[in-house]
Structure formats: C-alpha cells, structure tokens
Structure 1
Amino acid sequence: MSKPGIFLRKAVIGDLPAIVAIERESFVDPWTEEAFLQALECWAETFFVAVACGEVAGFIVGGIEDTGEAVYGHICNFAVAERFRHRGIGAMLVQSTERLFAVDLAEGVQLEVRVSNIYAQAFYRRHDYQPVFTIAGYYSNGEDAIVMMKWFF
C-alpha cells in the first residue's frame, strides 16, 4: 500500500534523529535515542519509517512475541509527525506491519495506549483493534494503559 509521494522502508541508523524528533513532539515520556538504537538492533525487520517529501514523516517499531501458547505481533512504538498527520501515513505503517506479522504466523497484534489518548484509541478502533484489559500505572507518570488487540482470524 502506498500513496503518491509517500513510501515505507526499513529504518536505518541515519533516521534516528528524525525519529527522536517525532517521538518528542508526540509523547510526554518519549523514548531516548538509545532506546530506538536498541530497537533497531533487535527488530530491524519490523522497524519502518514512512518517507514523504523526502523526509521521515513517521515510524513504527514492532516485534513478534511467542508466549509458548500463542504468537502475536506487538506494536511497541508508533507515531507520525504532526505536520504529516491525516494523510493516511499512520494507516500505511500499521497495515504494513500487520501484514508482516501475519506472514510470520502471528495470531494477532497487541499494543498499549494511554487511557487519556482518545485519538489514538479511535484510530486503533477504526483499524479493528479492541480493548482487552487495562494495566494500572503502566506509564512513567502513573497513567494506566489500555491493551488493545487485533486478531487475524
């Protein structure tokens, strides 16, 4: 899936400054550059950037998790730069990552979202994610997280 002038590719080390900048404008407790570097080392196959107008417009970090009973994808971090939002870039990133998880035989995808982030929750609901439970005090400021899941079958 692509849109004119927008494409997805695997993230590379040179993308980290742009990713960190997007992270800082998007979250109150942003990941550090070191955290993204570790993610790039661990999940290079499922760490993508969206490029628009020649610059990094968004990113998604995910990985496959095997509990021994189930295999599922986990979206660990995802954001689109404010000036590029509402152009379908977020949907491109999420759907492409979901397809990779499905190819790896994941049964579904899990993610965490702040209880207060109603816009993100609405986005995920539009993409067939459902809230499954809440984790009390998940975030560094003590805010709860809603775990949302999308099943592939």
Structure 2
Amino acid sequence: MPLQLTIRRAQPADIPQIAAIERVAFTDPWDEKTLRESLAFYPESFFVAKDNGSIAGFVAGGVEDTGEEVYGHIMNLAVAPDYRRRGVGQQLIRRLEQEYAILGASGVQLEVRIGNAGAQEFYRRLGYREVFQIASYYANDEDALVMMKWFRF
C-alpha cells in the first residue's frame, strides 16, 4: 500500500509515539524528557512524518550559530520498523534541510556511530561527507563519525 505521508512540525502530543519509535530504533534512546526539551528548544526544526494518523518517523535538529557560520545540526532521526526503506527518512531529512536553508544555514552537520555503516551510506546518498571522528562520543564509548553537507546556492 502506498504511503500517504504528511510531514509537519512535531507537537508535544506526538512525544509518546516519538519515544516509542526511539526505543525500538536505538540501544541508548532519548527519553521523553529529552525529546520534550528538544522540541521546546528547537520547535522549528523538529518534524514528524505521519501516515494515516500514525507517526512513521521523526527528525530532530537544531540551528547553531558560530558567529561566522550558521549551520543545521541533525540530532536525531528514527523511522518506525514498518516504514523503513520506504523513503520516510529521506523525506524527513529533505524537509529539515529546507528549513535550515530558510533559516540561513550554509550547511548541515550530524554525528553517526562509527559502526553504523547503514546510516553512513544513507547520509552519503543524500550528499553528506565524512569530516572527522570524535572518540568515545556515545555512552558505550563508541566513536562518532561527523558528517557534513554544504549548501550551494
């Protein structure tokens, strides 16, 4: 059955469904409090993909201003198991990138586990490139690979 996706900004009422997806997707998931704080801090860059009333996935990001550059930061992306490999993650990333461009960002940064080859390939297909590694970034001491995509206007 084809998806009837709608992408919109997340709302506080979405957090329980988002948290359920988060728990299935990650070994060290964000809790509801962290998800609520992220939504409160960055409401303009926290999106959900809905399919017939169910949340299929979400992306949470923020905007960082270094004083010289403004860039987007993808902090969290997860798709419910039944919706994986169906373009949901790509649509969420594209919507977030669009928001970052509107907000004046020159690019987007993210961190991904060094052992998560599938996620790294997903981001490469969307134009992200490896920049550097951060040692022991995750709770289990796994290194992170920092990836970036620069906008060209």
The answer for the alignment partner of 2:93 in structure 1 is 94
Q: Distance in 2 between matches of 1:118 and 1:53?
A: 31
Aligned to 2:62: 63
How far apart, CA to CA, are the structure 2 residues paired with 1:133 and 1:4?
36
Q: CA deviation at 1:53?
A: 2.8
- In the alignment, which residue of structure 1 is the partner of 2:123? 124
Percent identical across equivalent pairs? 52
Task: Indicate the SS of the match to 1:50.
Answer: strand
**How far apart in 2 are the matches of 1:5 and 1:137?**
40
Cα displacement (A) at 1:4: 5.0
Distance 1:76 1:107 in 2: 17
What CA distance in whole angstroms lies between the structure 2 residues aligned with 1:31 and 1:13?
15
Output the aligned Cα RMSD: 1.0
Q: Quick one: which amino acid aligns to residue 104 of structure 1?
A: L
What is the deviation of 1:68?
A: 1.1
The residue number in structure 1 matching 2:7 is 8
CA distance in 2, matches of 1:117, 1:53: 30
Corresponding residue for 1:43? 42
Q: Secondary structure of the residue that 1:128 maps to in structure 2? A: coil
Work out the CA distance in 2 between the residues paired with 1:108 and 1:90. Answer: 18
Distance in 1 (alpha carbons) for counterparts of 2:84 and 2:97 = 20
User: Who is 1:105 aligned against?
Assistant: 104
Distance 1:99 1:136, change over 3 A: same
Q: Distance in 2 between matches of 1:106 and 1:6?
A: 26
Mind listing any 5+ residue stretches in structure 1 that lack a counterpart?
none
Scaled by the length of structure 2, what TM-score is found? 0.96
User: Which residue does the alignment assign to 1:143?
Assistant: 142
- State the aligned residue count: 151
**Alpha-carbon distance in 2 for matches of 1:86, 1:4:** 12
